[in-house]
A and B are shown apart, each in its own frame.
Chain A
């Protein structure tokens, strides 16, 4: 672990995590909406939003999977110091980090059990482009319909079709976040 791993966390965890959670809650409750998520400086390639989401939700009781390019010594050191979360393979993870390409195949992730659908993974997906355009979303949390620029639409449609099983996604781009719970149905326009 390098000294850099010790920096970049919350300066005031109770207040910053409360504000961060409100943004994540709004994003998850209103799929298609994009929210700002700031307050921490994780090492690259993690985005600010991904780092803040992890600081807000992950801790020693939640195994984390680092996919592809996110699995660097700097990221491992930062997670070890700030979260203390165990690093695991994709099949055991509560949270998984990476680009959509890094996370393939997403069928590896936990989708919950029929009697406990909450025991599923949350994917924190880094995207280059996050705008309210593209695939049409409808379902709980959405008045009428919404649009969001999403990768991997066939896999996300397959995930939604398994409802109430399935993983949930947070899409991060710089300091912005949007979410896609498994309850959202996707239609390509």
Chain B
């Protein structure tokens, strides 16, 4: 039910115009973080206020919204944000990746390939990839200006010196169209290859840090690496215990206090779709009407 006490998609029109101008500039300079006047939202910082503001600025009444949190449609954050837009924008919602026109995501890219008809909105906690290497905004801004990204390679090199391989496993830095180094938000590096040459528009919103950045469709995005230590999109070497998928990103679930564990797809829609098609994993049971 739409709550008519609010403007369409909660935000007032002047705020949406400000967001829309920032989004267009972000599209025009892929990978560059555009400052914007982030608003207080009816949820705490860290719960996706940046993503929510970007979604609100993009949403149309005929959109079908999907919200995922670490790949799952049914976690608190995803359910709350989906209900928020059901109530304030009256848009249709779905859990099916293929049916969605706007997908807001926290820390995953869906397994199903995205299409030209979709917009993927990321929730970003720390947009600045150099922030943990250089805390001063004045300095990181200058480093982006001068394309001075040596420090990031030093960080990856120190990983190799200490661990024998690049141990960074999420929020793995990327270079966009050979220019800006960008934080892809804390997605697992397994998802990094999907950032590049993606048919969908990808928008990134950081509410607390007040930054919006973007990847237009078919943008070239390269994960930073070295010739002798090439980038590897790693995942747990198991099959999904529910649907048997051998190429999806997996969550490890502890199932007892005796060291028992199972691996399941982090993308719940991907897993459910496969199970409905009859795929059964090691610990899975056939889908019944009751389960579905």
Which A residues touch B28, using CB under 8 A? 28, 168, 181-183
Counting CB contacts under 8 A, is B171 at the interface? Answer: no
The tally of residues in B whose CB lies under 8 Å from a CB in A reads 43
| B58:A117 contact, CB within 8 angstroms | no
Which residue of B18, B145, B199 contacts A61 across the interface (Cβ within 8 Å)? B18
| A143:B218 contact, CB within 8 angstroms | yes
Counting CB contacts under 8 A, is A120 at the interface? Answer: yes
| B29:A28 contact, CB within 8 angstroms | no
Which A residues touch B179, using CB under 8 A? 163-164
The tally of residues in A whose CB lies under 8 Å from a CB in B reads 39
| A122:B145 contact, CB within 8 angstroms | no
Q: Identify which of A22, A56, A59 gathers the most chain B CB atoms within 10 Å of its CB.
A: A22
Counting CB contacts under 8 A, is A104 at the interface? Answer: no
Residue of B nearest to A12 (CB): B8
| A140:B14 contact, CB within 8 angstroms | no
| A56:B17 contact, CB within 8 angstroms | yes
- B 7-35 binary contact with A (CB < 8 Å = 1; else 0): 11100011011101111111111101011
Counting CB contacts under 8 A, is B60 at the interface? Answer: yes
User: In whole angstroms, how far apart are the Cα atoms of A30 and B199 in the complex?
Assistant: 10
Contacts A21-B58, A57-B17, A115-B145: A140 and B8 contacting too (C-beta < 8 A)? no
Which B residues touch A18, using CB under 8 A? 8-9, 16, 58-61
Residue of B nearest to A14 (CB): B8
Which B residues touch A181, using CB under 8 A? 27-29, 216
Which residue of A24, A115, A140 contacts B24 across the interface (Cβ within 8 Å)? A24
Residue of B nearest to A95 (CB): B21
| A118:B29 contact, CB within 8 angstroms | yes
Which residue of A56, A58, A164 contacts B32 across the interface (Cβ within 8 Å)? A164
Residue of B nearest to A23 (CB): B60
Which B residues touch A21, using CB under 8 A? 16, 20, 57-58
Which A residues touch B57, using CB under 8 A? 21
Counting CB contacts under 8 A, is A157 at the interface? Answer: no
Give A176 Cβ to nearest chain B Cβ, in Å. 18
Which residue of A25, A57, A115, A183 contacts B30 across the interface (Cβ within 8 Å)? A183
| A56:B30 contact, CB within 8 angstroms | no
| B61:A15 contact, CB within 8 angstroms | yes
Residue of A nearest to B214 (CB): A29
Within 8 A of A (CB), among B188-244: 199, 201, 214-220
Counting CB contacts under 8 A, is A8 at the interface? Answer: no
| B13:A62 contact, CB within 8 angstroms | no
Which B residues touch A57, using CB under 8 A? 17, 20-21, 24
Counting CB contacts under 8 A, is B279 at the interface? Answer: no
| A168:B141 contact, CB within 8 angstroms | no
Counting CB contacts under 8 A, is A86 at the interface? Answer: no
| A17:B16 contact, CB within 8 angstroms | yes
| B32:A25 contact, CB within 8 angstroms | no
Contacts A14-B8, A22-B60, A29-B27: A140 and B219 contacting too (C-beta < 8 A)? yes
New A-B pairs, 7, CB < 8 Å, besides A21-B16, A59-B14, A140-B219: A14-B8, A28-B216, A115-B142, A117-B32, A139-B177, A168-B25, A182-B28
Chain B interfacial positions (CB closer than 8 Å to A): 7-9, 13-14, 16-18, 20-30, 32, 34-35, 57-61, 141-142, 144-145, 177, 179-180, 199, 201, 214-220
A-B contact pairs, 13 of them (CB 8 A): A15-B60, A17-B16, A18-B59, A22-B60, A56-B17, A57-B24, A114-B145, A118-B32, A140-B219, A141-B217, A143-B218, A164-B32, A181-B29
Q: Which 8 A-B pairs have the closest CB atoms?
A: A141-B216, A181-B28, A14-B8, A118-B25, A140-B219, A140-B216, A29-B216, A115-B145
